[in-house]
Chain A
Amino acid sequence: MLVQYLPFLVLFIVAVAFAGGAMVLSRLLGPKRPSATKLEPYESGMVPIGGTRGRFPIRFYLVALLFILFDIEIIFLYPWAVIFLEAGAARVFLFFEILVFLGVITVGYVYIWRKGALDWE
């Protein structure tokens, strides 16, 4: 069973080796002549103002929280989609089953919509 995941392992090793190799090689082979202008985060761009760790508004937090909840809803659709085509006569049963599930979640969706949580302002 685990043998089926061997291509994943090979891909993972190749990806890590490629990324790591590119960084190491450019460090070893590339000439380093730093200057103040070159070391700026955005060369020939805007001069950065302040630190990078500004505080984020709480709206991002709410969006992330709602994203997780609907992410979990989607999780249940994966196995459903996989078994639906081969279900045969049980398809009608499966269809209404997921309809009830999605219906309850949609109540929540309408709730957050009406409460204005989807509006950015």
Chain B
Amino acid sequence: MLTTSEWSALELSLRVGVCAVAASLPTAIPIAYLLARGAARASWPIQAIRWLVQLGVDLPLVLPPVVTGYLLLVCLVPGGPIGSVLDRWFGVRLVFTWWAAALASAVVSFPLLVRTIRLAFQNVDPRLEIAARGLGAGPLDSFFSVTLPLARRGILAGAILAFARCLGEFGATIMVLGSSEGRRTIPLAIYSLSHRPGGMERSWRLVLLSVGLACAALIASELLERRQSLRESA
């Protein structure tokens, strides 16, 4: 059904997406929780920090992905601020590897992840946490046994949405991954085919695959969010 290069594009896309989301979840959840629960009457330095965090998290949502990719590339090349450290200390060079693609996808999809999870946390009644604390649970205990389970569908929905965004990531990925045979995600493979005479006709399977994956992810995310809000209203 698919050719070898199409399979490898699908495999790489899925791998990049899964790793990007899995790696960002542990950071996204606490940030989303802090943004959701930060009290409106907090002192101004705390408010300012929240604004800055919010700004930093949301920036990749509105930045052109190519700009995100450019900044990542500048930082990651062996002469760059992060790349030189990685190279010297660990002998790791990320540019042109799929790790760099996963990092780019993680950065670009992070705002979607945080926003969806933040909404899920906001939908959890804070009085439940207060009750848990009143019954003797510590802050971590109440978070893990009350808040997190109640928000789990929203978190899953956010993860799926971010995953779908990763599948569509192009601008930042092409900057840090380049476009080499056997190292192309689905969008990169379509782009590179479109550059070759006769390539447009050969890319329709990948195009269909993309549309299908995106629809599936959106539907799954939508269903989960709907069930979450139904539960809240019930």
The yes or no verdict on A and B being binding partners is: no
| B interface with A by C-beta (< 8 Å) | none
| A interface with B by C-beta (< 8 Å) | none
